[in-house]
Structure 1
Amino acid sequence: MSKVGIITDSTCDLPIEYIKKHDIGVIPVNVIFNDEEVRQPIFDLTNEEFYRRLVAGEDIKSGVSSPKIFKETIDKQLEKYDEILLITLSSKLSAVNQTAHLVVKQFSYENVTVIDSLCGTIETGLVVLLAARKLAEGKSKQEVIKYLEKDIIPNVHLISYAATLKFLRKGGRIGRLTHLMGTVLNIKPIFHIQDGEIVSPGRVMLWQNIEDAIKKLMAKVAGKQKEELVFVAHSGNPERCQKLIDYFKALPNAPKEILMAEVGPAVGVHVGPDTIGFVWVGEYSDEWFKEL
């Protein structure tokens, strides 16, 4: 059987221990400080340093790596593996997927398959880790592709909130009026990634009530997960994240494996500090938000 490796991009925010354990290649999505380009935290930049500079008000943007970096990452993995699954964040959120397709086509990588996760941040990371675990079980490349496309990608969900709408507004993810209302009234929308795009199910919460809302949504998910692996992610607030993990674990029918992840610079530049979200594979309904 062919030896199959995985490549993803650094917006997946998968904790470094899982990247190392499964030998996952990572294409950096770069962060640009005042026209100075640096790579994601597993390369050049720690999350702590990034959030310090973000809060300090530096002009920060993110950018897709050059095709050369994509090619170098693919070639390095092909030194160890016969075939590659290249799993990217949603093609509707970034040009990473498009660039991956262009590089694979340009250099005729017939043994590299590009998969659009239709996800963002640790939601992509969950897809990647589940794929890596299936390969570790001895599944073939085609079996893993079928598993992802049929069972995982259509059923993976992310719910999150942002402590400030400033960075979502700056990155064009929300409009000026939404940003103004959220700032003046201190209300925060809860976000969901649906069909590869960031949407709000129409529910906004006062800041002081936002964590209670997340807990109620966790209670809705418990028992409805199709995979026992779940991530709870944060951007610079591990203590708050751990409290939510402890709450999630104590729920009846809670997922058996609830892991913490930290949102890195490539995504953090858009959501800002103190964001919390969680990701699972299973049932989801917009109706849940009407009960908050």
Structure 2
Amino acid sequence: MRDYCPKVRNEPTLLDDVSLSVREYNEHTRVEEGMGRVSKGDNVMSVKNVIKLIADSTSDLPNHWIKQYDIGIVPLYVTLGGQTYKDTLEITTAELYRRVEEEGTIPKTAAPSPADFYRIFEPEISAGKNILYISMSSKVSSTNQNAHIAAREFPAGRVHIVDSMHLSASYALLVIRAARALEAGQPLNEVIGDIENVREKVKIEILVDRLDYLHKGGRVTSLQHLIGNVLKVRPVLNIVKGEVRSVQKYRGKMEKALEPILQKVVSQKNRICPNLVIIGQMLAEKMAERVRSHLLDHIHFKEVAVIEGGCAIGSHTGPNTIAVSYLLKGSV
């Protein structure tokens, strides 16, 4: 059975906004063209230096990870009140929700165009780098497809695209896994194979506080919306084979609804890879920290990171949403 939970070095805490130096090699290295394999040679160059890792803004990666691993971000678009913004660059989640409350309209999202991807890919290709773009799930957006269109403008083997089959916290978990593997000198073909192997073993539990955004986004009917608000129903969403599915509903306050989710995670503690667990939150920092403390009290995780959801994801889930993402060891 393949070990999907390799040992990794200790990472800085989420509160440390740092940019670590690139891993130094003791021997001179060269990189074989195409798949980024490192071997002995005359030039000092790591895999990380010749592979540009790129994700899109639905990964909700915090700035300290983006800087630390030099990850390129392709923003999605968010339209609100007749104006269109680049996700995370031109509008914040807090501003988005403030305007929704004031204006009474739900934002719409759109994928980056092939031209957007070309503008991000081209400078890296011209600089001699190959690209590994890990995309949001192709089942919920044309983002992955548009990246493929842009990739055709470059020589074969220069742009590698992997479908994460995930969103937000679970997507971020896969991107950081790839970033750390590249930093450790793992060949590109092995990194790609690893992400494709483990993506179905990455799980996410998403607890939504309000049905308004799911309703206006077409994920719940008007009747479900009405009844849900009256009964204070809070749905739990999972991502299964790249698609968002409602798997459970709980009544009562968010704190109460979180209990069975935390119990589910803790009950699997012997099956969860302890290297990294990610908690996503939408303007729910205090609740996210309580979830983090609970998990650390019950499971010996090496790292439990808290990230804030961006506007593209937040447009569909609403404020006060909490998500927990983790990787199951071995086969499932």
The corresponding residue for 2:187 is 140
TM-score, normalised by the number of residues in structure 1: 0.90
Query: Helix, strand or coil: the match of 2:61?
Result: coil
2:124 is matched by which residue type in structure 1? Answer: Q
Q: How many residues align?
A: 281
Give CA-to-partner distance per residue, 1:119-140, whole Å, 9 cap, x none: 0112111111110000000011
Distance 1:277 1:178 in 2: 22
From 171, 174, 197, give the equivalent of 1:127: 174
2:263 is matched by which residue type in structure 1? Answer: K
CA-CA distance at 1:12 after TM superposition? 0.5
**Range moving further from structure 2, 270-279 or 103-112:** 103-112
More helix by share: 1
Gaps of 5+ in 2: 1-30, 37-49
From 56, 63, 84, give the equivalent of 1:9: 56
The corresponding residue for 1:266 is 312
**Range moving further from structure 2, 80-89 or 260-269:** 80-89
From 254, 269, 280, give the equivalent of 2:326: 280
- Report if the CA contact (8 A) 1:88-1:97 is conserved: yes
1:51 is matched by which residue type in structure 2? Answer: Y
Query: Helix, strand or coil: the match of 2:167?
Result: coil
CA-CA distance at 1:194 after TM superposition? 0.5
The corresponding residue for 1:193 is 239
Give CA-to-partner distance per residue, 1:181-239, whole Å, 9 cap, x none: 312211112111110011122x2111322121222123123232135101011001111
The corresponding residue for 1:287 is none
Distance 1:226 1:83 in 2: 30
Gaps of 5+ in 1: 285-292
Q: Which of these two proteins has the greater Rg computed from alpha carbons?
A: 2
The corresponding residue for 1:90 is 137
Change (3 A) 1:33 1:109: farther
The corresponding residue for 1:171 is 217
Distance 2:323 2:106 in 1: 25
CA-CA distance at 1:165 after TM superposition? 1.0
2:283 is matched by which residue type in structure 1? Answer: G
Matches within 5 A, 1:1-292: 1=31, 2=36, 3-41=50-88, 43-56=89-102, 57-80=104-127, 82-108=129-155, 110-150=157-197, 152-201=198-247, 203-208=248-253, 209-226=256-273, 228-251=275-298, 253-282=299-328
- Report if the CA contact (8 A) 2:93-2:314 is conserved: no
- Report if the CA contact (8 A) 1:54-1:269 is conserved: no
Distance 2:171 2:141 in 1: 13
Query: Helix, strand or coil: the match of 1:14?
Result: coil
Distance 1:185 1:244 in 2: 24
Distance 1:128 1:81 in 2: 22
The corresponding residue for 2:44 is none
Distance 2:176 2:128 in 1: 17
2:210 is matched by which residue type in structure 1? Answer: T
The corresponding residue for 2:28 is none
TM-score, normalised by the number of residues in structure 2: 0.80
CA-CA distance at 1:266 after TM superposition? 0.4
Distance 1:258 1:271 in 2: 22
Query: Helix, strand or coil: the match of 1:224?
Result: coil
- Report if the CA contact (8 A) 1:236-1:274 is conserved: yes
Query: Helix, strand or coil: the match of 2:229?
Result: helix
Give CA-to-partner distance per residue, 1:39-68, whole Å, 9 cap, x none: 111x22222212212333244211112222
- Report if the CA contact (8 A) 2:168-2:280 is conserved: no
**Range moving further from structure 2, 219-228 or 180-189:** 219-228
- Report if the CA contact (8 A) 1:15-1:261 is conserved: yes
